[in-house]
Amino acid sequence: MPDSRETKRCDAFVTGWPVKHSRSPLIHNHWLKRYALSGSYTAESVAVEEFPAFISALKSGGRYRGGNVTIPHKETAFQLADRPDEIAKELGAANTLWMADGLLHATNTDSFGFAANLDERHPGWAKINRAVILGAGGASRAVIQAVRDQGVAEIHVVNRTRGRAEDLADRFGPKVHAHALGALGEVMKEAGLFVNTTSLGMNGGETLELDFSTLAERALITDIVYVPLKTPFLIQAERQGRQTVDGLGMLLHQAVPGFEKWFGIRPSVDEELRSLVIEEM
Ligand code: ATR
């Protein structure tokens, strides 16, 4: 890991296909400017068939010290890394890569980002017995990991395709229970956290009408979707007098560990950065 006093120029990337919608360049370039660092953070559009060659160039000491990986390369990045950490191994996917001692290291910062967002907004959020997670895709895995690692006793994963929720319950162990959508009302009773990890409500798309009244008294409702910032789930929850946290903070916080690995400074997530990203949405 670079030392914070190191002045050597460092370059990092975000790669995906497509990558043009990524907000990562906005976030990292804001930090580069704020901390007056001479490095760069660049979007690299890399097709699936080109990705192994991109990783080979990184390993052989090309331009970059490391970078972020987004859809569809997260699983391949994990497989091609020399040193994936335990978090990446559990998720089978990596979103952050860095070279150290000639080896490619990999982690996944999504679960960190999820927990850090809630820690910032509602410290103590995880002192609950039951969490409900809607959805069973890649984002759901990171949320399950985060909630489980905070010691929440019961995690209920509810998904349209029940089999995918069952796969996650098998993967994450006995605290995680799988359900079909029809069980949602039942498992929400007395839950202290509700998380939407599906694409429902994204960009004005379809949603579900939910009754949040049976959740525990001080329950939190949060959404992985952050476009729009106030998703249909958050609007419904607020109308029902519930506390909500939007998903933008997860995006901002998941970027922190990567920036620190590449550039040697742990950046702060503040209102200025949040406003900047909102302006560009
Ligand atoms: P990601 O990796 O971003 O989580 P994904 O793997 O495509 O994306 O998962 C999307 C999630 O949204 C899944 O849980 C999906 O449910 P299925 O497993 O049944 O496909 C869920 N989802 C997407 N559209 C949905 C809809 N209209 N109603 C309910 N769930 C939906």
Q: The CATH number of the domain where 99 resides is what?
A: 3.40.50.10860
Q: Are residues 132 and 236 in the same domain?
A: yes
Residue 199 Cα, ligand 1 centroid: separation in angstroms? 6
ipTM for this model: 0.97
Q: Are residues 28 and 128 in the same domain?
A: no
Q: Are residues 259 and 242 in the same domain?
A: no
Q: Are residues 135 and 237 in the same domain?
A: yes
pLDDT at 259: 98
> Is it the case that residue 4 has pLDDT exceeding 80?
no
Q: Are residues 115 and 236 in the same domain?
A: yes
CA 260: distance to chain centroid? 17
Residue 12 Cα, ligand 1 centroid: separation in angstroms? 31
Interval 198-253: pLDDT, tens: 999 999 899 999 999 999 999 999 999 999 999 999 999 999 999 999 999 999 99
Q: Which atom of ligand 1 is nearest to the CA of 208?
A: 28
CB count within 10 Å of CB 251 equals: 21
Look-up of token digits 């890399």: 46
Instruction: Please name every residue paired with 183 in a beta bridge, in sequence order, or none if there are none.
Output: none
Interval 88-126: pLDDT, tens: 999 999 999 999 999 999 999 999 999 999 999 999 999
- Residue 234 sits at φ, ψ, to 5 deg, of -70, -40
Is residue 60 in a domain?
Answer: yes
Number of domains in the chain: 2
Domain range for 208 is 111-250
pLDDT confidence band for 3 (50 / 70 / 90): very low
Amino acid letter for position 84: P
Q: Are residues 75 and 202 in the same domain?
A: no
Catalytic residue list? 74
Top mutation candidate among 91, 198, 206 for ligand 1, by most atoms within 8 Å of CB = 198
Q: Pocket around ligand 1: residues whose beta carbon is below 6 Å from it?
A: 135-140, 159-161, 164, 197-200, 206
Q: Are residues 197 and 154 in the same domain?
A: yes
Q: Are residues 155 and 90 in the same domain?
A: no
Is residue 5 in a domain?
Answer: no
Percent of the chain's residues with pLDDT above 90: 96
